[in-house]
Amino acid sequence: MKSSIKNCFGLALAIAMVATVAAQEAATEKGTASPAKVTSEPAKSPPVAVAADNSQCFVCHINFEEEELAATHRKAGVGCVKCHGPSRAHKEDESNMTPPDIMYAKEKINPACLKCHQPAKLGDIHESVLAGTDPKNKYCTDCHGEHHLNHRTRIWDKNTRKLLPRTAKGQGTKG
């Protein structure tokens, strides 16, 4: 088990490095290379985002490796832990009773996204979303990514963090 984790880590690191180069190339092509303004650490010399390492979360959440919201942000240096917290107790709890550090009840989603994405810089399509007048697409994650679990073994109340009975279906899925 230990060594397979190590191998996974090495592989993920290699993938991360390749992804970083790809991201750099893409950024240069688009002319959008911007400093990584997402960490509080002092900026390092190359002003290009370093892909985040999500390997510790992929151990169980492999389905989020390709998912668009997670993948775009991972390449920009924003890993799972940036949005969900380090979640140490969660990832180390083999009986899966402990929730991650940060969960998002629906009303917390947009404010969380808008911490990094200034409303004024978003395209026109966002006008009704920001005004809250689009009845169908209220939340950023309604259009961006497929960041949802369709099958779950555990469900927590996202506000109280309490483990809910397994019969509480539909919680945390879209809609």
Binding site for ligand HEC (CB under 6 A): 38, 54, 56-57, 59-61, 64, 70, 72-73, 76, 78, 80-84, 87, 90-91, 96, 99-100, 103-104, 109-110, 112-117, 122-123, 125-126, 129-130, 137, 139-144, 147-149, 152-154, 156, 158, 172-173
The least distance separating ligand HEC from the CB of residue 118, rounded to whole angstroms, comes to: 9
Tokens of 138: 């209220």
Between residues 11 and 125, which has the closer beta carbon with respect to ligand HEC?
A: 125
The least distance separating ligand HEC from the CB of residue 45, rounded to whole angstroms, comes to: 18
Between residues 3 and 63, which has the closer beta carbon with respect to ligand HEC?
A: 63
